[in-house]
Amino acid sequence: MSLPAPTANEIEAAIRNIPDFPKPGIQFKDITPVLADARLFNGAIAELCKPFKPGSVDAVVGIDARGFIFAAAAAVQLKAGFVPIRKKGKLPYTTHEQDYALEYGVSTVAVHTDALKAGERVILIDDLLATGGTAAAAAALVRKLGAEILEFSFLIELRFLNGREKLQGFPVRSVVTY
């Protein structure tokens, strides 16, 4: 059974805005209502992998933590592997690490050293593109492993934060923009 495809407006209408979470001044985009609705979730995954046919991508790389939900579902749809990029200290095997700047301080993401082979074709998926720091750090890790990034795909893009500027040279798509 295939579900009728939702419009981007329908997906946007389901995203819940939570003011001042997790701290004052941040408006958190809560995607759990999209996940809970079978038609919206299926439609969101279809949009995230739209340019790619099953078998045309070696792996979908997902970014900790909500990115895993979308990236893993996209990997199944594309008959590709799934590779997690996690916050530092979570992956059990040997890792490469990459620091990136936060508004205050730095954070670090990591990937297993054998997660991708040189030349593998991958797409990166996260729930939301804000300043682009997380995605740019993820890209650095993927390139360190020698894989080829075909595209970045986000459910949500906060355009006013200019995250795309940190991802120059890569195609960037988003389903819903603010």
Give the residues lining the site for ligand AMP (CB under 6 A).
26-29, 63, 66-67, 126-135, 163
- The closest alpha carbon to 141, from 93, 82, 95, 72, belongs to 95
Task: Take residue 3 and report the two structure tokens written for it.
Answer: 């579900």
Return the number of the residue (68 or 119) whose C-beta is nearest ligand AMP. Answer: 68
Q: Which H or E element spans position 121?
A: strand 121-129
CA separation (Å) from 39 to 11, 50, 52, 54, 88?
Answer: 10, 16, 20, 20, 34
The least distance separating ligand AMP from the CB of residue 136, rounded to whole angstroms, comes to 8
Residue 12 among the catalytic residues:
no
Closer residue to ligand AMP, CB minimum distance, 3 or 103:
103
Provide the β-strand partners of residue 129.
157
Catalytic residue among 103, 143, 148, 159: 103
How far apart are CB 159 and ligand AMP at their closest, in Å?
Answer: 12
Is the Cβ of residue 21 or residue 54 nearer to ligand AMP in the bound state?
21
Written as one letter, the residue type at 29 is K
The least distance separating ligand AMP from the CB of residue 46, rounded to whole angstroms, comes to 21
Quote the CA–CA distance of 130 and 109 in Å, as a whole number: 16
In the bound state with ligand AMP, the residue whose beta carbon lies nearer, of 18 and 114, is: 18
Question: Which residues on neighbouring strands pair with residue 149, listed in sequence order?
Answer: 122
Has 86 been annotated as catalytic? no
Q: How near is the Cβ of 102 to ligand AMP at its closest, in Å?
A: 8
Q: State how far the Cα of 88 lies from the Cα of 77, in Å rounded to an integer.
A: 28
Catalytic residue IDs: 66, 103
